[in-house]
């Protein structure tokens, strides 16, 4: 999926690709890559055909014990036959998912930031946005039984307004969202309406990403908050690492463009945290203005 011009829907992969380009992979610090020669159709297959390296000299880096990355799966090289281009490997190490792989696929050799770890960092930072940030949605609900309404959205957490579904009245009703109710078998709205239908406007939390193809909107994430997630994930990935000098200078230039001064390698993660806090604070201010709660004025009789 393209993340450039013409993009209509952003996914978890969109954030990951921007993270690689803007923070994790400086232009002059590319890791070794090669092409998968033949499809790997069996998740337990232990031989992989490697065609040609993007830089021929990088082939000398491939040896017993090397780590290869195909998608999110990591494999460890047991032996390498340079004549046939066949690597014998141990599949899905470090708990990464075993899967099939089709050509053309780029294989990363000893990647400094594995795709699996980047995915988890992005997924964690999406979840952590709530309750600081949240989106809202509306749903027309029909009663399952007296005063119990089933909610289809698993991310619904807080009632904002409830109004009669037939629009015959603007009277607001009260209610509570619960995670489970035996009458519906899932997430439900409990309200003071005996039966019929109601319009529910509610606040959504963030969902857990399970695949790179997950849409940000389906995870409860406003696409304007992509940078917050990306910067938070970068800080998580860089903290505690001995960051190479080339990457240090690259990240420093990114931060200094936002008027955040970074004096040493050890402050890289701290600078990213500061930038993350600035972005989060601005987004919270914008969210409060956009989702301003309804204020009811009492009438004195």
**In degrees, to the nearest 5, what angle opens at C-alpha 29 toward C-alphas 28 and 31?**
135
pLDDT score, position 73: 94
Top mean-pLDDT range of 12-21, 165-174, 238-247: 12-21
**Interatomic CA distance for residues 176 and 254, integer angstroms:** 45
Tell whether the model's pLDDT for residue 299 goes beyond 50.
Answer: no
Higher pLDDT, 117 or 25: 117
Tell whether the model's pLDDT for residue 194 goes beyond 80.
Answer: no
- Among 47, 81, 40, 44, smallest CA distance to 62 is for 81
Segment 120-126 mean pLDDT: 96
Tell whether the model's pLDDT for residue 260 goes beyond 60.
Answer: yes
pLDDT range class, residue 263, cuts 50, 70, 90: low
Tell whether the model's pLDDT for residue 291 goes beyond 70.
Answer: no
Q: Please report, rounded to a whole number, the percentage of residues in the chain having pLDDT higher than 90.
A: 56
**Interatomic CA distance for residues 154 and 213, integer angstroms:** 19
Tell whether the model's pLDDT for residue 8 goes beyond 80.
Answer: no
Cβ neighbours for 2, distance < 8 A, ≥ 6 positions apart:
none
The first and second tokens of residue 89, run together, are 């490997």
Segment 8-33 mean pLDDT: 86
pLDDT score, position 27: 73
Higher pLDDT, 155 or 9: 155
Rg for the chain, CA atoms, rounded:
25
pLDDT range class, residue 193, cuts 50, 70, 90: confident
Helical (H) or strand (E) element with 275:
helix 268-290
Main-chain dihedrals φ then ψ at residue 81, nearest 5 degrees: -105, 105
Query: What order of strands is seen across the sheet that includes strand 135-145?
Result: 156-164, 197-204, 135-145, 148-150, 186-191, 175-181
Q: Per DSSP, what are the bridge partners of residue 215?
A: 11
> Are 107 and 35 in contact, with CB atoms under 8 Å apart?
yes
Task: Summarize pLDDT for 198-215 with one digit per residue, the tens.
Answer: 899 999 999 999 999 999
Mean pLDDT of the chain: 86
Q: Where are the domains of the chain?
A: 1-31+112-134+207-295, 32-111, 137-204
């Amino acid at each position: 999926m393209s993340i450039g011009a013409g993009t209509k829907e952003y996914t978890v992969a969109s954030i990951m690709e921007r993270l690689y380009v803007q923070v994790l992979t400086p232009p002059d610090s590319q890791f070794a890559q090669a092409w998968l020669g033949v499809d790997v159709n069996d998740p337990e297959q232990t031989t992989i055909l490697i065609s040609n390296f993007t830089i021929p000299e990088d082939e000398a880096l491939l040896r017993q014990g090397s780590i290869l990355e195909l998608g999110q799966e990591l494999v460890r090289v047991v032996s390498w036959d340079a004549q046939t281009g066949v690597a014998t490997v141990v599949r899905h190490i470090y708990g990464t998912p075993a899967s099939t792989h089709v050509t053309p696929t780029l294989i990363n050799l000893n990647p400094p930031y594995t795709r699996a770890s980047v995915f988890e960092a992005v997924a964690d930072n999406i979840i952590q946005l709530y309750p600081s940030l949240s989106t809202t949605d509306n749903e027309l609900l029909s009663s399952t039984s007296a005063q119990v309404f089933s909610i289809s959205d698993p991310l619904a957490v807080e009632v904002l307004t409830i109004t009669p579904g037939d629009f015959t009245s603007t009277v607001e009703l009260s209610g509570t969202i619960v995670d489970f109710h035996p009458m519906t078998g899932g997430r439900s709205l409990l309200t003071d309406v005996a039966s019929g239908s109601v319009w529910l406007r509610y606040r959504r939390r963030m969902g857990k990403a399970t695949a790179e193809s997950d849409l940000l909107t389906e995870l409860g994430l406003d696409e304007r908050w992509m940078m917050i997630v990306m910067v938070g994930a970068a800080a998580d990935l860089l903290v505690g690492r001995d960051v190479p000098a080339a990457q240090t200078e690259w990240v420093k230039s990114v931060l200094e463009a936002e008027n955040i001064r970074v004096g040493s390698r050890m402050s890289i993660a701290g600078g990213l945290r500061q930038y993350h806090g600035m972005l989060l604070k601005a987004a919270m201010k914008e969210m409060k203005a956009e989702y301003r709660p309804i204020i009811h004025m009492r009438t004195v009789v």
